[in-house]
C-alpha cells in the first residue's frame, strides 16, 4: 500500500528537487543622483507553503491573499525523507550544490523522467512540463527545502497544482537602495576572457559570437531559466533585403528600413546605430539560419513600409524558437552558462577599464570573475513598476508584457561602472496586452488582418500605426480598452493565435451578430464596420483610417474577439553605445573592455521602437558586442605577454 501511495506521489509530484532556500531580489543605493529604484543587493522573497498532510498533493494557487507558512508544512525534502530517501538520492555523494543545480536536476530526471516524458503523461489543459519556456531545469519550480512555486505563475494565473507548493507568494518588489558592501578580502576568484551578463537573445548571441572568435566565455543569468524577455518575443525579426523577402518578391531596402526606424523613433534614435541595424539585418538572419533557425515566414508590423518581419513558417512565435536554437548552439560549443547567477557589480581597474564582475550565486554566494572584456546584455526594466513610474508617473499601475527578470539592474550596474544612460524616459506601451493579464497579443495578428473596434462596435485607428499612436487611441475609448476582431482565415494564417484559445482569451461567434451579442456591442454597428473593412480590402484602399496593408478580409466564420488594453512593453533608454557596441562613459569616451547589446542599451529606437526591431537589435548588436569583446580580450592577452 505504502509503495502504491509513494508511486502515486511520484507520479503527481513529477519532478522533485533539493535546492537551497529562496530566489532573491535586491535593492540598493543610488548615491549618484540616479533613480532610487535600483536593484543591487539581495533580499529574500518569502514564499508561503501550504499546510498539507504529507500524502496529499498541496494545491498551488496564484494570486493575492497569502497564507502563513505552517511550521509543520512538509517541503519536498521532508516528503522524500518520509519515504526513506536520504540526501544522497537527490544530491549524490557531495552535498554542495552549484548554481545550475546540475546534480539535483540530473537526479530528478533519473527518478521521475524528463520534462518531455512527464509532459506526455499530463492530463492538464495547460501542461506545466511543455511550454514556450522550452527545456528548463526541474528546480525552476520544484524546491527541496522551501515551498515549490510554479514559474509560469510569474505571468499567468493558472490554477496549477504543484507538490509541496506555496499557496501565495509575496511578489518581488524593488526596494529603495542600500550601498553595495565592499568586496570581501580573499574572495573566490575565477578567470575567463569574456563575461556576458544576461542570457536573452543578445546575451546568447554575444556569447556564441565571442566563443566563435576564440574567446573563453562565461554567460551569467540571474533568473532560474535562460531566455529573458526574448523568449516571449512573438511577432518576429525585422530585416531588409533578405533572401526570404526576395523569394517572395518583396521589394525592400536598407535605406527604407533605416527611414522607417528613424521615423518610428521620432528621429530621436542615433542615426549611426540605426544604419548598422538596417545594414546588418539580413546578415543577422543568415547567421541565425546557419545556427539552425527557421525565419522563412515574412509579415508586417506597425510602422513598416513593407513586409520585413521574419518568423518561423506558419507564423509561430519567434522568441521561443530562437532561444531554443541559441541554447542548443551554446550547449554544442560547451559555453559555460550559469543560471541563478546575478551580477551585482562590474569591476574596474584604477584607470576605469572594465576587468570583470562580482557575482552573487544562489548557492555559491559572492564570488568574482576577472575577465578581459564584459558584455552587458541584461535587458530592460518594464517589469520594475517603481522604476517605470519614476521615469513616467503616468504609467503607474499599468500591467506589463515582460517576464519578472526585466527589472533594469543591468543599467544600474552599467551606470555604476561609468556608463552613460540615455533616453531613460522613453518607455513603450504595447497597445494589445490581453485585458486583465500579462499576455501579449502579438502585433502580427493585426499585421495579418485583424482590426480594433471599440465598445460602440466601430474602428477608431489605423491598426498598423506605430505603438504609441495605437495605444493612445485605445486609451481614448470607452473603458480604455478595445476588442481585436479576427476570423478563421486570420486565425489559420498565424500559428501563435491558437495559444490565445488555449489560454481562454478568445470570445467566439458563428456570425458577426452572434459575436457582437456576446461582447455586448451593437450588432448592426459591428456588422457595418466589418463590411466597410472588407470593402477596403476588395478595393485595396482604406479611405477612413488609411491602413497601408489589408492582407485578408474578415469574412470566414467563425468570428473571434480578444479584449485588449495597453501595457508596459519595452524600455527604449539605457546605456549609450557606439557602432562597435562599446559602452560610452560619462565623459563621452568608450569605456575600455566594456560592451553592451540589446534592451539594456539606449539609442537604437529613439522615442518609439517598431515591432520586430527588438529581436533584430539583439542579434545584430549581440554579434558586434561578442566579436569585439573577443577581439579586445585577444589584444589584452597579447599585451600581457
Q: Rank residues 236 and 449 by Cβ distance to ligand MEZ and give the closer one.
A: 236
DSSP structure string for 273-317: HHHHHHHTHHHHHHHHHHHT----EEE--TT-SS--EEE-TTT--
Cell of 213: 572568435
For residue 431, state whether it binds ligand MEZ (rule: CB under 6 A).
Answer: no
Q: Rank residues 133 and 234 by Cβ distance to ligand MEZ and give the closer one.
A: 234
Task: Annotate each residue in 231-270 with x if it binds ligand MEZ (CB under 6 A) or - if it does not, as one string.
Answer: ---xxx----------------------------------
Q: Rank residues 222 and 609 by Cβ distance to ligand MEZ and give the closer one.
A: 609
For residue 449, state whether it binds ligand MEZ (rule: CB under 6 A).
Answer: no
* C-alpha–C-alpha distance, residues 276 and 579, integer Å: 7
Between residue 517 and residue 546, which ones bind ligand MEZ under the rule CB under 6 A?
none
Interior CA angle at 333 toward 601 and 635, to 5°?
A: 60
Q: What is the CA radius of gyration of the chain?
A: 25
Q: Rank residues 172 and 236 by Cβ distance to ligand MEZ and give the closer one.
A: 236
Beta strand pairing call for 427-434 and 559-571: antiparallel
Q: How many CB atoms lie within 10 A of CB 480?
A: 11
Cell of 622: 549581440
CB of 491 to ligand MEZ, least distance (A): 16
CA 486 to chain centre: 26
Between residue 598 and residue 617, which ones bind ligand MEZ under the rule CB under 6 A?
611-612, 614
Which sequence positions are flagged as catalytic?
467
For residue 439, state whether it binds ligand MEZ (rule: CB under 6 A).
Answer: no
Tell me the three state secondary structure of residue 245: helix
CB of 464 to ligand MEZ, least distance (A): 12
CB of 295 to ligand MEZ, least distance (A): 13
- 160 prior amide bond cis, ω within 30: no
Between residue 119 and residue 138, which ones bind ligand MEZ under the rule CB under 6 A?
none
**546 beta partners:** none
CB of 323 to ligand MEZ, least distance (A): 15
Q: How far apart are the first and last CA of the chain?
A: 69
Interior CA angle at 204 toward 617 and 102, to 5°?
A: 155
Q: Rank residues 356 and 612 by Cβ distance to ligand MEZ and give the closer one.
A: 612
Torsion angles phi and psi, residue 72, rounded to 5: -95, 0
Tell me the CA distances in angstroms from 266 to 277, 469, 605, 613, one per residue in order: 16, 12, 9, 15
CB of 433 to ligand MEZ, least distance (A): 10
Between residue 612 and residue 641, which ones bind ligand MEZ under the rule CB under 6 A?
612, 614
Q: Rank residues 201 and 344 by Cβ distance to ligand MEZ and give the closer one.
A: 201
Torsion angles phi and psi, residue 489, rounded to 5: -60, -45
Between residue 64 and residue 123, which ones bind ligand MEZ under the rule CB under 6 A?
none
Candidate segments 87-95, 196-204, 283-291, 435-443, binder of ligand MEZ by CB under 6 A: 435-443
Q: Rank residues 224 and 299 by Cβ distance to ligand MEZ and give the closer one.
A: 299
Tell me the CA distances in angstroms from 12 to 68, 155, 183, one per residue in order: 24, 23, 45
CB of 76 to ligand MEZ, least distance (A): 37
Tell me the three state secondary structure of residue 578: coil
For residue 444, state whether it binds ligand MEZ (rule: CB under 6 A).
Answer: yes
Task: Annotate each residue in 461-500 with x if it binds ligand MEZ (CB under 6 A) or - if it does not, as one string.
Answer: ----------------------------------------
Sign of the torsion formed by the C-alpha atoms of 379, 578, 41 and 35:
negative
Contact residue for ligand MEZ among 13, 140, 442, 582 (CB under 6 A) = 442
Nearest residue to ligand MEZ, scored by beta-carbon proximity: 235
* C-alpha–C-alpha distance, residues 200 and 236, integer Å: 15
Cell of 257: 528600413
DSSP annotation of 36 reads: S
Total binding residues for ligand MEZ by CB under 6 A? Answer: 11
Q: Rank residues 144 and 198 by Cβ distance to ligand MEZ and give the closer one.
A: 198
The answer to whether the beta carbons of residues 219 and 196 sit under 8 Å apart is yes
CB of 292 to ligand MEZ, least distance (A): 21
Contact residue for ligand MEZ among 99, 241, 416, 443 (CB under 6 A) = 443
For residue 301, state whether it binds ligand MEZ (rule: CB under 6 A).
Answer: yes
CB of 287 to ligand MEZ, least distance (A): 19
Cell of 173: 518588489
CB of 102 to ligand MEZ, least distance (A): 34
Between residue 179 and residue 238, which ones bind ligand MEZ under the rule CB under 6 A?
234-236
Q: Rank residues 235 and 361 by Cβ distance to ligand MEZ and give the closer one.
A: 235
The answer to whether the beta carbons of residues 374 and 626 sit under 8 Å apart is no
**347 beta partners:** 356
List contacts with ligand MEZ (CB under 6 A).
234-236, 301, 440, 442-444, 611-612, 614
Amino acid at each position: 500500500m505504502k509503495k502504491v501511495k509513494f508511486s502515486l506521489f511520484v507520479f503527481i509530484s513529477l519532478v522533485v528537487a533539493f535546492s537551497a532556500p529562496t530566489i532573491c531580489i535586491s535593492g540598493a543605493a543610488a548615491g549618484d543622483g540616479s533613480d532610487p529604484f535600483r536593484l543591487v543587493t539581495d533580499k529574500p522573497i518569502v514564499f508561503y507553503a501550504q499546510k498539507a498532510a504529507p500524502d496529499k498533493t498541496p494545491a498551488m494557487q496564484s494570486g493575492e491573499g497569502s497564507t502563513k507558512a505552517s511550521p509543520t508544512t512538509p517541503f519536498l525534502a521532508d516528503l522524500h525523507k518520509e519515504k526513506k530517501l536520504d540526501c544522497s538520492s537527490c544530491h549524490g555523494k557531495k552535498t554542495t550544490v552549484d548554481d545550475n543545480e546540475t546534480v539535483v536536476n540530473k537526479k530528478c530526471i533519473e527518478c521521475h523522467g524528463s520534462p518531455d516524458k512527464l509532459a506526455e503523461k499530463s492530463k492538464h489543459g495547460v501542461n506545466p512540463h511543455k511550454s514556450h519556456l522550452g527545456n528548463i531545469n526541474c528546480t525552476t519550480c520544484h524546491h527541496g527545502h522551501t515551498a515549490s512555486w510554479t514559474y509560469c505563475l510569474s505571468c499567468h494565473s493558472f490554477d496549477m497544482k504543484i507538490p509541496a507548493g506555496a499557496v501565495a507568494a509575496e511578489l518581488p518588489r524593488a526596494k529603495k537602495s542600500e550601498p553595495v558592501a565592499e568586496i570581501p578580502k580573499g574572495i573566490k576568484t575565477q578567470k575567463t576572457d569574456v563575461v556576458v551578463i544576461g542570457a536573452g537573445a543578445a546575451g546568447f548571441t554575444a556569447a556564441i559570437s565571442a566563443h566563435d572568435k576564440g574567446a573563453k566565455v562565461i554567460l551569467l543569468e540571474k533568473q532560474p531559466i535562460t531566455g529573458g524577455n526574448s523568449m516571449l518575443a512573438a511577432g518576429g525579426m525585422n530585416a531588409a533585403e533578405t533572401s526570404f523577402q526576395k523569394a517572395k518578391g518583396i521589394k525592400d531596402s536598407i535605406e527604407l528600413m533605416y527611414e522607417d526606424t528613424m521615423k518610428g523613433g521620432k528621429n530621436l534614435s542615433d542615426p549611426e546605430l540605426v544604419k548598422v541595424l538596417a545594414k546588418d539585418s539580413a546578415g543577422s538572419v543568415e547567421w541565425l539560419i546557419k545556427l539552425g533557425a527557421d525565419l522563412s515566414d515574412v509579415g508586417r508590423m506597425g510602422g513598416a513600409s513593407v513586409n520585413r518581419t521574419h518568423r518561423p513558417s506558419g507564423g509561430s512565435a519567434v522568441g521561443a524558437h530562437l532561444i531554443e536554437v541559441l541554447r542548443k548552439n551554446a550547449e554544442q560549443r560547451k559555453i559555460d552558462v550559469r543560471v541563478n547567477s546575478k551580477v551585482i557589480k562590474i569591476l574596474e581597474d584604477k584607470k576605469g577599464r572594465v576587468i570583470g564582475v562580482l557575482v552573487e550565486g544562489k548557492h555559491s554566494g559572492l564570488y568574482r570573475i576577472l575577465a578581459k572584456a564584459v558584455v552587458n546584455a541584461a535587458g530592460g526594466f518594464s517589469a520594475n513598476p517603481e522604476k517605470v513610474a519614476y521615469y513616467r508617473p503616468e504609467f503607474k499601475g499599468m500591467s506589463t508584457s515582460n517576464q519578472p527578470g526585466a527589472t533594469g539592474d543591468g543599467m544600474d550596474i552599467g551606470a555604476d561602472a561609468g556608463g552613460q544612460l540615455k533616453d531613460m524616459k522613453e518607455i513603450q506601451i504595447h497597445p494589445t496586452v490581453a485585458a486583465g493579464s500579462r499576455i501579449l497579443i502579438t502585433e502580427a495578428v493585426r499585421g495579418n488582418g485583424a482590426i480594433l473596434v471599440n465598445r460602440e462596435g466601430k474602428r477608431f485607428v489605423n491598426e498598423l500605426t506605430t505603438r504609441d499612436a495605437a495605444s493612445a487611441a485605445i486609451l481614448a475609448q470607452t473603458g480604455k480598452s478595445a476588442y481585436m476582431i479576427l476570423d478563421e482565415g486570420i486565425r489559420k494564417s498565424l500559428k501563435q493565435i491558437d495559444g490565445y484559445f488555449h489560454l481562454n482569451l478568445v470570445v467566439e461567434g458563428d456570425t458577426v451578430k452572434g459575436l457582437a451579442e456576446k461582447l455586448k456591442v451593437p450588432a448592426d454597428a459591428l456588422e457595418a464596420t466589418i463590411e466597410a473593412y472588407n470593402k477596403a480590402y476588395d478595393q485595396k484602399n482604406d479611405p477612413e483610417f488609411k491602413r497601408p496593408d489589408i492582407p485578408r478580409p474578415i469574412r470566414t466564420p467563425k468570428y473571434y474577439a480578444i479584449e485588449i488594453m495597453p501595457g508596459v512593453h519595452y524600455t527604449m533608454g539605457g546605456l549609450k553605445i557606439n557602432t562597435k557596441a562599446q559602452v560610452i562613459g560619462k565623459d563621452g569616451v568608450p569605456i575600455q573592455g566594456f560592451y553592451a547589446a540589446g534592451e539594456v542599451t539606449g539609442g537604437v529606437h529613439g522615442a518609439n521602437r517598431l515591432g520586430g526591431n527588438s529581436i533584430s537589435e539583439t542579434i545584430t548588436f549581440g554579434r558586434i558586442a561578442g566579436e569585439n569583446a573577443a577581439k579586445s580580450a585577444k589584444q589584452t592577452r597579447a599585451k600581457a605577454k
